[in-house]
């Protein structure tokens, strides 16, 4: 398995290949539909974003509340295509990686390649197991969204597969 550090530089993203298994460590951010919508609305208004998207990795997850003694509850990936209408704009802002499940539209695959980004697929149905990779979690934006608030996660050895690489190659096992 290839070790990936987040934030993820363009150079590091461009070395990854579709189908490659990775372990992600570092800082990632949760963001689902509602958070994506708010981020794009801020950009449309010319306002500052609550997070710096340059080289950021967004995890399409809405974690459950943490049980006692844990930093986060179950946090499995959600369907990535739900973010497709927002993704090209966020990639233009420097977003480098995304983690989710399912397929991406041809437009998003093209935008991923154009911007030297990567889409990682995480195994659906494994939210409790993936939560074990989260060392710390804190809400940093849009707390009014509840589970869909943006959280800053510190992760260690978070398992994923490169489903779309920076050249636009698609690993079909994870995207059908």
Where are the chain's structural domains? 2-171
Give the CATH number of domain 2-171; options: 3.20.130.10, 2.170.150.70, 3.90.120.10, 3.40.50.12780: 3.20.130.10
Per residue in 121-176, pLDDT (tens digit) is: 998 777 888 989 999 999 999 999 999 999 999 999 999 999 999 999 999 765 44
Active site residue 5: no
Q: Are 10 and 116 in contact (CB under 8 A)?
A: yes
Q: Are 17 and 169 in contact (CB under 8 A)?
A: yes
Question: Cα–Cα distance between 69 and 49 in angstroms, integer?
Answer: 32
Residue with tokens 């437009």: 107
DSSP 60: -
**Set 32, 36, 103, 151: catalytic member:** 36
Per residue in 22-39, pLDDT (tens digit) is: 999 999 999 999 999 999
Q: Are 104 and 171 in contact (CB under 8 A)?
A: no
DSSP 83: G
pTM: 0.94
């Amino acid at each position: 398995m290839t070790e990936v550090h987040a934030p993820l530089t363009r150079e590091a993203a461009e070395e990854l290949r579709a189908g490659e298994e990775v372990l992600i460590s570092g800082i990632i951010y949760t963001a689902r539909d509602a958070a994506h919508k708010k981020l794009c609305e801020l950009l449309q208004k010319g306002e500052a974003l609550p997070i710096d998207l340059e080289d950021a990795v967004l995890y399409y997850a809405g974690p459950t509340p943490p049980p006692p003694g844990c930093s986060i509850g179950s946090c499995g990936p959600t369907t990535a295509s739900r973010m497709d209408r927002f993704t090209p704009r966020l990639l233009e802002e420097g977003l480098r990686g995304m983690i989710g499940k399912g397929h991406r539209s041809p437009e998003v695959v093209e935008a991923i390649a154009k911007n030297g980004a990567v889409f990682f697929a995480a195994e659906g149905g494994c939210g409790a197991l993936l939560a074990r990779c989260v060392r710390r979690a804190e809400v940093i934006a849009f707390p009014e969204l509840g589970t869909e608030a943006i959280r800053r996660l510190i992760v260690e050895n978070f398992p994923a597969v490169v489903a779309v690489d920076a050249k636009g190659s698609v690993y079909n096992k994870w995207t059908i």
